[in-house]
C-alpha cells in the first residue's frame, strides 16, 4: 500500500522504516532536509496516487493544525488523513469536520511503542468512521505487534476516541512508573537490601507486578547502577494533565495519577514554595528551628527513629486534636532541600527553561538509546 508520512522524528522515522520493511511504499516529509524524501507537502501529495492516505506525526497543537490546514487545500475528495500524534481528542472533532466538508476522511490514532516500536510493533488505538478505518487496515496490521490483532490494535469508537484511549493509557503509565519508583526508593533506604537491581529483576517473571516497564527499570539500573547522577527533573507531555482533567469532569477519582503527576511538578522545583511555607509555619506555632538556604543541611541517617516534638505547645490547646503536630517526624530536619542534591548545572533555571521548551513526543516520551527490547 502507498502512504505519505508527515513528521519523521523519533517515532515517525521508525514507523516509516517498519512500513517499508512490511512491503509498503512510504513517502516521507519532514522539516529536516536530511531525513525527508520530498521537499514539501505539495510534493508529497503529488507523489501519491489517488485515493491517497497521509499519516500526520507531528507535535500536537499548532503544528498539527497547520498541517491539517495545508492538507485540506492539497488533498481531494476520497483521500484519507490519519492523525497519529498526541493531539487532544477535542481537536480531532474539529479536524474531522474541517476535512469532512471537502469529502476527505479523517481517523485519529493513538500510538504507543516509543523507540521500541520499530522492532516490537506499536500499540494502536483508532477513532473514526468504520469505512475510513477499514481503508487503512493494511497499514495498521503492519505497524501493530505480531499476534492477534485485538491484542495490539483497537477501533475504539467515534472520532476522537483513539486519542482519548491513548490519553488514558498515558495516565495509567504515569501511575505505574511512580509505583515502581517508590518501591525503588524504599528498597534503597533499607541497609539490609544489598541487590536492589536483583530484586527488580527477580520480579520480571512469575510475579503479578511484571511488565514491560519493569523490564525497562531493570535495564535502566543495569546501564546506570543505583541511578547515580540522574537528575530528578521530570517533564510531562501533557496527556497526564488531560487525563486528570477528564477525571474531574466525569467525577472519576484518580488519586494515583494525581499523585504521580504532582510528583513530576515537584521534581522541577529547586526549593518548593509550599514546603517553605510549612517550615515557616512550624517555626511560628511551635518554635521549631527554620533552616535557611545558606545553612548546611543536617546529617540524616537511614533508619533513624523519628523525633517526637512532644513538648511543643500549641496556642490555646489542651488535649491534642486528631491529626495534630504532637509527633512531628520532620522536627530534626528543618527546611527543604532541592531533593536530589543536584547542582545548578542539572537543576538550575537554564535547565528548567530548556526542559520546558521540549515539546511532547508522539509516543511515551522515552528518548533513551535502543538496546535489548522487551520480552514477549
Catalytic residues: 166, 173
Please tell me the distance from the alpha carbon of residue 84 to that of residue 194, in angstroms, as a whole number.
Answer: 44
User: Coil, helix or strand for 148?
Assistant: coil
Q: How far apart are CA 261 and CA 19, in angstroms?
A: 34
Q: How far apart are CA 15 and CA 257, in angstroms?
A: 29
Q: For 92, what's the count of Cα atoms within 13 Å in the CB-facing half-sphere? A: 29
Start-end of H helices in 48-147? 62-74, 89-100, 117-120, 130-135, 137-143
- Is the CB of residue 191 less than 8 Å from the CB of residue 302? yes
- Strand 105-112 vs strand 123-127: parallel, antiparallel, or unpaired? antiparallel
Q: Which residues pair with 350 in a beta bridge?
A: none
**Separation between Cα atoms, residue 160 and residue 300, nearest integer Å:** 50
* CB neighbourhood size of 136 (10 A): 21
Compute the distance between CA of residue 125 and CA of residue 155 in angstroms, rounded to an integer: 6
What are the angstrom distances between the C-alpha of 281 and each of 219, 274, 287? 43, 11, 9
- Closest alpha carbon to 91 in 124, 121, 67, 125: 67
Neighbouring-strand partners of residue 112:
123
d(CA 347, CA 5): 37
Q: Which residue reads 517550615 in cell numbers? A: 279
* Cα-based distances in Å from 99 to 4, 52, 124, 185, 343: 17, 14, 22, 50, 50
Dihedral sign, Cα of residue 362, residue 366, residue 370, residue 371: negative
Cα 44 off chain centre by: 31
Amino acid at each position: 500500500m502507498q502512504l505519505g508520512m508527515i513528521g519523521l522524528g523519533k517515532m515517525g522515522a521508525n514507523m516509516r522504516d517498519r512500513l517499508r520493511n512490511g512491503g509498503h511504499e512510504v513517502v516521507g516529509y519532514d522539516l529536516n532536509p536530511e531525513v525527508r524524501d520530498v521537499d514539501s507537502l505539495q510534493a508529497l501529495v503529488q507523489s501519491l496516487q489517488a485515493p491517497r492516505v497521509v499519516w500526520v506525526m507531528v507535535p500536537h497543537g499548532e503544528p498539527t493544525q497547520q498541517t491539517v490546514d495545508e492538507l485540506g487545500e492539497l488533498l481531494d475528495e476520497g483521500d484519507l488523513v490519519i492523525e497519529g500524534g498526541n493531539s487532544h481528542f477535542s481537536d480531532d472533532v474539529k479536524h474531522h469536520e474541517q476535512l469532512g466538508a471537502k469529502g476527505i476522511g479523517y481517523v485519529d490514532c493513538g500510538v504507543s511503542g516509543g523507540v521500541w516500536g520499530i522492532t516490537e510493533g506499536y500499540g494502536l488505538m483508532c477513532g473514526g468512521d468504520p469505512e475510513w478505518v477499514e481503508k487503512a487496515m493494511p497499514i495498521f496490521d503492519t505497524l501493530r505487534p505480531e499476534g492477534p490483532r485485538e491484542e495490539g490494535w483497537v477501533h475504539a469508537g467515534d472520532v476522537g476516541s483513539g486519542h482519548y484511549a491513548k490519553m488514558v493509557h498515558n495516565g495509567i503509565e504515569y501511575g505505574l512508573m511512580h509505583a515502581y519508583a517508590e518501591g525503588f526508593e524504599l528498597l534503597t533506604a533499607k541497609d539490609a537490601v544489598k541487590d536492589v537491581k536483583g530484586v527488580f529483576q527477580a520480579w520480571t517473571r512469575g510475579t503479578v507486578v511484571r511488565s514491560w516497564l519493569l523490564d525497562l527499570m531493570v535495564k535502566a539500573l543495569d546501564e546506570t547502577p543505583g541511578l547515580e547522577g540522574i537528575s530528578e527533573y521530570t517533564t510531562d507531555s501533557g496527556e497526564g494533565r488531560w487525563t486528570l482533567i477528564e477525571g474531574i469532569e466525569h467525577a472519576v477519582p484518580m488519586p494515583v495519577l494525581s499523585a504521580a503527576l504532582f510528583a513530576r511538578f515537584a521534581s522541577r522545583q529547586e526549593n518548593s514554595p509550599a514546603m517553605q511555607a510549612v517550615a515557616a509555619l512550624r517555626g511560628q506555632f511551635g518554635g521549631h528551628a527554620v533552616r535557611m538556604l545558606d545553612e548546611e543541611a543536617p546529617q540524616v541517617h537511614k533508619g533513624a527513629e523519628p523525633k517526637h516534638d512532644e513538648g511543643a505547645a500549641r496556642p490555646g490547646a489542651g488535649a491534642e486534636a486528631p491529626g495534630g503536630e504532637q509527633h512531628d517526624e520532620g522536627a530534626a530536619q528543618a527546611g527543604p532541600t532541592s531533593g536530589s542534591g543536584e547542582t545548578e548545572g542539572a537543576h538550575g533555571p537554564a535547565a528548567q527553561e530548556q526542559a520546558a521548551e521540549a515539546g511532547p513526543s508522539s509516543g511515551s516520551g522515552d528518548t533513551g538509546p535502543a538496546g535489548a527490547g522487551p520480552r514477549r
